[in-house]
A and B are shown apart, each in its own frame.
Chain A
Amino acid sequence: MKQAQFVADRQARWDQYRELLKALRRRRGKDTVKADFPSQYRRLCNDLALARSRGYSLKLINQLQQWVMEGHALLYKPQASLVERIVEFFRRDFPRQVRSEWRLGALCSLLLFGPMIWLFHHIGTTPEFVYRVLSPDAIINYEQMYAQPAGNRSADDQFFMFAFYIMNNIGVALRTFAGGLLFGVGSAVILLFNGVFIGAVAAHLSFEGYFENFWTFVIGHGAFELPAIVLAGVAGFRMGISLIIPGPYRRLEALRLGAREAVSLLYGVMAMLLLAAGLEAFWSASNAPASVKYVVGAILWLAVFAYFLLAGRDTRTESRHAD
Chain B
Amino acid sequence: MPPIDSTYPVETPDGVDLDIHPAGPVPRAAAWMVDLLVRSGIMIMLIFILSGFNAVGFAMLVLAWFLINWWYPVLFEVLGNGATPGKRAFDIRVIHDDGTPVGWGPSVVRNLLRQVDFLPLLYMTGLISMLCNRRFQRLGDLAAGTVVIHGDNRRITLPELPPGETRHPPIPLKPDEQQAVLSFAERIRSLNPARAEELANLLEPVTGQTGPEAVDELLTWARWMRGQAT
Q: Which residues of A contact B (CB under 8 A)?
A: 1-7, 41-42, 45, 48-49, 52-60, 62-63, 65-66, 68-70, 72-73, 76-78, 154, 156-157, 159-160, 162-164, 166-167, 170-171, 174-175, 177-179, 181-182, 186, 239, 252, 255-256, 258-260, 262-264, 266
A49 (CB) vs chain B CBs: closest residue: B16
Interface size on B, residues (CB 8 A): 61
Residues from chain A with Cβ under 8 Å of B226 in the complex: 2-4, 57
Q: Is the CB of B158 within 8 A of A256?
A: no
Query: A55-B179, A156-B54 given as contacts; is B227 within 8 A of A5 (CB)?
Result: yes
Residues from chain A with Cβ under 8 Å of B8 in the complex: none
* 12 A/B residue pairs, CB under 8 Å, sorted by A: A55-B176, A55-B179, A57-B179, A66-B152, A76-B101, A162-B59, A170-B66, A181-B139, A181-B143, A186-B116, A260-B105, A266-B108
Residues from chain B with Cβ under 8 Å of A162 in the complex: 59
Q: Is the CB of A259 within 8 A of B109?
A: yes
Dominant secondary structure of chain B at its interface with chain A = helix
**Nearest Cβ on chain A to B210's Cβ, whole angstroms:** 25
Q: Is the CB of B59 within 8 A of A159?
A: yes
Residues from chain A with Cβ under 8 Å of B14 in the complex: 41-42, 45, 72
B43 at the interface (CB under 8 A from A): no
Which of A2, A53, A69, A182 has the most B CB atoms < 10 Å from its CB? A69
For the complex, give the distance between the alpha carbons of A226 and B14 in Å: 48
Which of A1, A66, A264 has the most B CB atoms < 10 Å from its CB? A66
**Nearest Cβ on chain B to A275's Cβ, whole angstroms:** 16
Q: Is the CB of A159 within 8 A of B116?
A: no
Q: Is the CB of B70 within 8 A of A174?
A: yes
**Nearest Cβ on chain B to A231's Cβ, whole angstroms:** 15
**Nearest Cβ on chain A to B47's Cβ, whole angstroms:** 15
Residues from chain A with Cβ under 8 Å of B106 in the complex: 260
Q: Is the CB of A78 within 8 A of B56?
A: no
Q: Is the CB of B18 within 8 A of A69?
A: yes
Q: Is the CB of A239 within 8 A of B143?
A: yes
Partner of A163, one of B63, B69, B174: B63
Q: Is the CB of A55 within 8 A of B174?
A: yes
Query: A60-B158, A63-B156, A163-B60 given as contacts; is B100 within 8 A of A72 (CB)?
Result: yes
**Nearest Cβ on chain B to A241's Cβ, whole angstroms:** 13
Dominant secondary structure of chain A at its interface with chain B = helix
Q: Is the CB of B63 within 8 A of A59?
A: no
Residues from chain B with Cβ under 8 Å of A41 in the complex: 14
Q: Is the CB of B66 within 8 A of A167?
A: yes
B25 at the interface (CB under 8 A from A): no
Residues from chain A with Cβ under 8 Å of B165 in the complex: none
Q: Is the CB of A159 within 8 A of B55?
A: yes
Residues from chain A with Cβ under 8 Å of B99 in the complex: 69, 72
Residues from chain A with Cβ under 8 Å of B101 in the complex: 73, 76-77
**Nearest Cβ on chain B to A161's Cβ, whole angstroms:** 8
Q: Is the CB of B59 within 8 A of A160?
A: yes
Partner of B159, one of A59, A72, A167: A59
Q: Is the CB of A56 within 8 A of B143?
A: no
| The 4 A-B residue pairs with the shortest CB-CB distance in the complex, in nearest-first order | A2-B227, A55-B175, A156-B55, A57-B182
**Nearest Cβ on chain A to B158's Cβ, whole angstroms:** 5
Q: Is the CB of B116 within 8 A of A178?
A: yes
Residues from chain B with Cβ under 8 Å of A186 in the complex: 116
Partner of B18, one of A2, A6, A42, A72: A72
Residues from chain A with Cβ under 8 Å of B58 in the complex: 160, 163
Residues from chain A with Cβ under 8 Å of B109 in the complex: 259-260, 262-263
For the complex, give the distance between the alpha carbons of A204 and B112 in Å: 35
Q: Is the CB of B115 within 8 A of A69?
A: no
- Give the residues from 18 to 67 in chain B that come closer than 8 angstroms, CB to CB, to chain A: 18-19, 54-56, 58-63, 65-66
Partner of A65, one of B19, B62, B142, B225: B19
- Give the residues from 130 to 155 in chain B that come closer than 8 angstroms, CB to CB, to chain A: 139, 142-145, 152
**Nearest Cβ on chain B to A177's Cβ, whole angstroms:** 6
A259 (CB) vs chain B CBs: closest residue: B143
B182 (CB) vs chain A CBs: closest residue: A57
Partner of B63, one of A3, A166, A262, A263: A166
**Nearest Cβ on chain B to A40's Cβ, whole angstroms:** 12
B6 at the interface (CB under 8 A from A): no
Residues from chain A with Cβ under 8 Å of B121 in the complex: none
Partner of B156, one of A62, A164, A262: A62
For the complex, give the distance between the alpha carbons of A1 and B62 in Å: 65
**Nearest Cβ on chain A to B14's Cβ, whole angstroms:** 4
